[in-house]
A = this chain, B = another copy of it.
Amino acid sequence: MCRWLAYTGEPVFLDELICKPEHSLVAQSLCAVEAKTPTNGDGFGIGWYGERAEPGLYREVLPAWNDQNLASLAHQIRSGLFFAHVRASTGTSSSRPNCHPFASGRWLFMHNGQIGGYLRLRRRLEALIPDALYDRREGTTDSEILFLMLLAEGLETDPLGALARTLAKVTEVMATAGVTQPLRFTSALTDGRSIYALRYASDDRPPSLYWRSGDAGGSGKAVSIVSEPLEEPETWQALPAGEVLLVGPDRQIRFEALDLHAWAAE
């Protein structure tokens, strides 16, 4: 089901979060403890903001624990906002275009979850992607469809509304098709300035999500959002199901309850 982390704050070398902590994301790729599957070895990816408005992207099909390039890049690259993701495939093939995060312009997206009945619904879901965005589809995952739908639903100007409308539409397609499996969607979005993290499921088992806010070496506020605590579990807080955690450019934190219907209606 995948594990991921997002960070914003004073620039840090990526390996400080991805590789070094006792239960780092790389450690979670080999042995996650709160995921449906302990092994998240079907590829991985990192996306980070440096000197350009658009993020850099490195995605690979090898397991994260086994990639020397990841170790070197994470040791070398310093960033004030980055995403990282380790993948456990829920059926689609291991290829770089199926690895997270996904990028479009200045936006990054990553996802932990699944659209119930996806293989059967795939075509109907793809139909929700407008023509103008369809040629950005490079892979076959439900996650990439969700990202392209978010872009179509106004992600760039109304991220929360886009989230609600996208999930509402997917829910409708699932209902129409009589799918009884749940929609699970614990995800993160960023434009390189703010982060929007959502923990959501249509049943009572949303994939885990934790966050921590604090001083980053005394030089300013930092916020980390993770599938599983990287270390010192008592210092992390679980995000309640159905909530969006918003981190602004000033790293101020705000919470919003996701309301598919209200937002969708706007």
Contact = CB atoms under 8 A, between A and B. Distances in A.
Interface string A23-41: 0000000110000001101
What is the predominant secondary structure among interface residues of chain A facing chain B? mixed
A142 to B, nearest CB: 13
Contact of A122 (B96, B119, B135): B135
Contacts of A66: 41-42, 61, 89, 94
Interface residues of A, number: 48
A257 interface: no
A63 to B, nearest CB: 5
A94 B75 CA distance: 20
A24 to B, nearest CB: 16
A254 interface: no
Interface stretch (A51-59, A151-159, A215-223): A51-59
A56 B41 contact: no
Number of copies of this chain that the complex holds: 4
A13 B54 CA distance: 13
A73 B58 contact: yes
B61 A62 contact: yes
Interface string A62-73: 110010110011
Interface of A: 13, 30-31, 38-39, 41-42, 48, 50-52, 54-63, 66, 68-69, 72-73, 75-78, 89, 93-97, 119-120, 122-123, 126, 131, 134-135, 137-140
